[in-house]
Amino acid sequence: MSSICSTAFVSRLKSNFKSGLLALSLVAPAVGLAKVSYRTSFGKCPARSTGALTLKLVRAFEANQSLISLKRAIVEEKLQDRHFLSDYKIEYHPLKGLLELSFNCPTPIMKAQIYKNNGQDSYEAILVDTGALVDPTYEVLLRDEHKLTQALPTLALPVGDMEKDVQLQIARLVRNLKWDFRKYLSELILDEKKDLTIILSIQGHPSSVFMGKGDWEEKVDKLRKVIDHMLASGRLPAVINMTNAKKVVVKFSDKT
C-alpha cells in the first residue's frame, strides 16, 4: 500500500472509533497481495483502546495477510490483556477478501483495593465480571465514553487472597445481584482469614454485614429478605451477623 492510501485509511479508521462498528476497504493492496476489506465490531469495549488495537492489527495483516502471525502477535504481545478484552474473534474470508475482527470486553463490578504489609501499602484495580483484576484505566476509558455511569462499590482484600477462584466468587456474587439490591453495596472487605464483611448504605444508613467464610450466595439471598423486611418495618439494622448460615442475628443502634 502506498503511503497516501495508508494515511487515508488510518484517518478514516480513527474517525470511526466512536461508532464501534466499522466496515472499511483498502483502495490499493500491497504488491502481490489481494485487496482486503475490514469489518470491525467493538462490542462493549471502549472505542479508544479497541480502536488503537484495531489499527495495530490491520497494519499487521497488511504486511502478509496471515491470520497465524496476527494471532501469534496477540498472544506474544499480550494484546488481549493490554486492551481489556474478555474475548475476540478474527476471521478472514478469502473469497470475499474480508477480514472480520470482533471484540468484547468485561463489565466492571467493583473497585478493588489490594493491600499488603498490614494495610501499609496498597494498589488499586478494577474487578470485572470474569473475576479478573484489570488496570483502573479501564474504568476511566468507559466513563469517558459514557459506557459506565453508575458508581462502583469498593472491594478490599489482602494481596495473599488474590486467588482467581476467590475473585471469581466475589464477582459472581455481585454480578448476580439485581440492581435494586446491588445499589446498596458500599464496600466488601475480605480479611486474611477469608472472612467476608459487606458494608451496606441504605438511605444514608450504614449497616455492617458479617458473612464469615463460604456459603456467600446462600447468605446473600437471606440478606435480601432481611433488608426487604427491615425497609418495610422502617427500622434499619446497624449490624447483621450471618457467619452461621442457619442463623441471622440483627442488632440495631441506639438511635433507631
Q: Which ranges of 25-92 would DSSP assign to H, the alpha helix?
A: 47-64, 67-76, 79-82
- What's the whole-number mean pLDDT along residues 133-161? 90
| pTM (2 d.p.) | 0.79
Average pLDDT, the chain: 83
Residue 231: CB atoms within 10 Å:
13
Has residue 198 got a pLDDT over 70?
Answer: yes
- What's the whole-number mean pLDDT along residues 242-250? 90
Has residue 256 got a pLDDT over 70?
Answer: no
pLDDT score at 255: 59
pLDDT score at 200: 95
pLDDT score at 203: 86
Instruction: Tell me which of 143 and 167 has the higher pLDDT.
Output: 143
Delimit the domains of the chain by residue range: 3-104, 108-251
pLDDT score at 246: 87
Q: Which amino acid appears at position 161 of this protein? A: D
Has residue 227 got a pLDDT over 80?
Answer: yes
1-37 confidence digits (pLDDT tens): 322 333 344 445 545 554 444 444 433 444 455 677 8
Q: How far is CA 30 from CA 33, 35, 90, 95, 207, in A?
A: 5, 8, 21, 18, 65
Has residue 152 got a pLDDT over 80?
Answer: yes
pLDDT score at 40: 92
- What's the whole-number mean pLDDT along residues 179-193? 90
Has residue 180 got a pLDDT over 90?
Answer: no
How long a stretch of residues is the chain? 256
For residue 225, the SS3 value is helix
Q: How far is CA 223 from CA 14, 104, 111, in A?
A: 48, 33, 22
**Percent of the chain predicted with pLDDT > 90:** 50
> What dotted CATH number matches 108-251?
3.40.50
**80-89, 118-127, 156-165, 247-256: least confident range:** 156-165
- What's the whole-number mean pLDDT along residues 47-72? 90
pLDDT score at 208: 95
pLDDT score at 88: 95
- What's the whole-number mean pLDDT along residues 168-176? 89
Has residue 254 got a pLDDT over 80?
Answer: no
